[in-house]
Amino acid sequence: MRSSFLLLFVCFFCTRSYALTWDEPWADLVMKKATSFVLAKVVSGDDDIVKISIIKTLGGKEVKDSVQIAGFYLLDICSSSGHGPHFNIEQADSCFFFLKEDSLGVYSIATPTSGFAYVSDGKVIATYRHSYHMASVPFDVYENTMKAIFDNYHGQAYDKAYITGLANEYLAKKPAELSDEGAATFFMQHVVMESIYHLRLPGYDAQLITFLKDTANPHNQISAARALHASDTDNAKEALYHVVADTTQPGFLQVMCLLSLKDLHTNKLKKKLEALEKTASDEKVGFGGNIMDPRICTHLPTVKDALKALLEKK
Q: What is the pLDDT of residues 125-151, one digit of tens each?
A: 999 999 999 999 999 999 999 999 999
As beta bridge partners, residue 130 has: 133
The confidence score (pLDDT) of residue 7 equals 42
Would you say residue 51 has pLDDT above 70?
Answer: yes
The CATH class of 16-138 is: mainly beta
Give me the mean pLDDT over the 16-40 stretch.
91
Would you say residue 8 has pLDDT above 50?
Answer: no
Over residues 165-184, the pLDDT tens digits come to: 999 999 999 999 888 889 99
Cα–Cα distance measured from residue 149 to residue 163, given in angstroms and rounded to the nearest whole number: 10
Cα–Cα distance measured from residue 147 to residue 31, given in angstroms and rounded to the nearest whole number: 10
pLDDT band at 314 (very low <50, low <70, confident <90, very high): low
The confidence score (pLDDT) of residue 82 equals 64
Q: What is the pTM of this model?
A: 0.93
Residue 60 or residue 78, greater confidence: 60
Output phi, psi for 193, to 5 deg.
-65, -40
Q: Determine the 3-state secondary structure of 48 from DSSP.
A: coil
Would you say residue 60 has pLDDT above 90?
Answer: yes
Cα–Cα distance measured from residue 148 to residue 145, given in angstroms and rounded to the nearest whole number: 5
Residue 78 CB neighbours (<10 A):
14
Q: HSE of 48 in the Cβ direction (CA atoms, 13 Å)?
A: 1
Would you say residue 215 has pLDDT above 90?
Answer: yes
Would you say residue 14 has pLDDT above 70?
Answer: no
Please state, for a pLDDT cut of 90, what percent of the chain lies above it.
82
Cα–Cα distance measured from residue 21 to residue 308, given in angstroms and rounded to the nearest whole number: 28
Q: Which residue ranges make up each domain of the chain?
A: 16-138, 159-314
Q: Answer yes or no: are the C-beta atoms of 189 and 227 closer than 8 Å.
A: no
Residue type, 218: P
Residue 133 CB neighbours (<10 A):
18
